[in-house]
Amino acid sequence: MAGGAQERSPLLHLVAGGCGGTVGAIFTCPLEVIKTRLQSSKLAFRAVYYPQVQLGTISAEGMVRQTAVSPGLIRVLKSILEKEGPRSLFRGLGPNLVGVAPSRAVYFGCYSKAKEQFNHLFVPNSNLVHICSAGSAAFITNSLMNPIWMVKTRMQLERRVRGSKQMNALQCTRYVYRTEGIRGFYRGLTASYAGISETIICFAIYESLKKHVNDIQLAPSPAGGSERSSTNFLGLMVAAAVAKGCASCIAYPHEVIRTRLREEGTKYKTFIQTARLVAREEGYLAFYRGLFAQLVRQIPNTAIVLSTYELIVYLLEDRVK
């Protein structure tokens, strides 16, 4: 690639990733709010807010015991609309929009640079290179962006009575700092580090599928170039969707643990302690609350971001050749 193209490509990747991430964040924000509420401990144990969740049963000893039943996506959506209004479906959108562009830029920049370095250490473009690159990029991105995601999660968990005023992002930031200090902004970071496994799995599968997509050769036609480009673009979207879907299903429990750690004034203190507590009190199925909302939100979003990234790189390389 020519020198001028190399200088322009980081800016183009930043703009493309930022725009794609921003649009995706806006359209998928309601699903993210629902997913976060489903992950929260307050959904299962606060009978006032979700009275239909609590079922009283009689144990063998004659004692009344409360059994938590997790509601579905539609029920949570309906409850938010009825009790809080449509605006609550966009809680945390401000921090999301502030963080999405720089986080995409940091991630793709670190991934590209790490891939370049690891290609000199291991077999070029091997699965080991992709795994190490994705893990390194995710570690750096999570460390830098955790305060923003912490504020976003806290805002999404805040419930309100219809018509009442809620904290904005700045007020929420000040409140966290005043009540918990700097350390408060890094709650859930250990769970985010555990979630690096999802990123590694996603990119390992994606890079493997991308090789097969790039190996597809179409028969020559009058519009061969554009046809090949559109087919590869669609193939990359499918590859990204499959990779993200598999990774989310495998590594999803860390998201539930991370949300619990970010709740205000709860009994959840550390990653291992939270995992044990959730498993003991709610069962292992609790680790998959909100998975459907996550898949509906993340799969198309990831497919758009990754395929757009690849398309811009392809178009840039094609123009300078």
pLDDT, one tens digit per residue, over 96-140 is 777 777 787 788 778 888 888 999 999 998 888 988 998 999 999
* 81, 112 contact by CB (below 8 A): no
Q: 179: pLDDT confidence band, cut at 50, 70 and 90?
A: very high
How many CB atoms neighbour CB 159 within 10 A?
A: 18
Domain boundaries, the chain: 3-195+255-320
Specify the amino acid at residue 221. Answer: S
| Phi, psi (deg, nearest 5) at residue 68 | -85, 130
**Residue for token digits 């860390």?**
254
Choices 3.40.120.10, 3.30.1330.100, 1.10.1520.10, 1.50.40.10: CATH for 3-195+255-320: 1.50.40.10
Q: Lowest mean pLDDT: which of 162-171, 198-207, 229-238?
A: 229-238
The CA-based dihedral angle spanning residues 27, 295, 13, 210, taken in that order and rounded to the nearest 10 degrees: -140
Give the C-alpha distances (Å, rounded to integers) separating 246 from 20, 197, 242, 266: 22, 12, 6, 31
Give φ, ψ of 283 to 5 degrees. 90, 165
Distance CA 218, CA 212 (A): 13
Q: Which residues of 39-75 are buried (b: 16+ CB within 10 A; e: fewer)?
A: bbbebbeeeeebeebeeeeeeeeeeeeeebebbebee
Distance CA 304, CA 223 (A): 24
Q: How far apart are CA 80 and CA 58, in angstroms?
A: 31
**Rounded mean pLDDT, 68-77:** 71
Residue pLDDT, tens place only, 8-33? 455 555 566 666 667 767 777 888 88
**Separation between Cα atoms, residue 303 and residue 23, nearest integer Å:** 13
Which position has the higher pLDDT, 164 or 113?
113
pLDDT > 60? residue 1? no
d(CA 202, CA 50): 35
pLDDT band at residue 46, thresholds of 50, 70 and 90?
Answer: very low
The pair of structure tokens assigned to 264 is 């205000």
Q: For residue 14, what pLDDT is reported?
A: 59
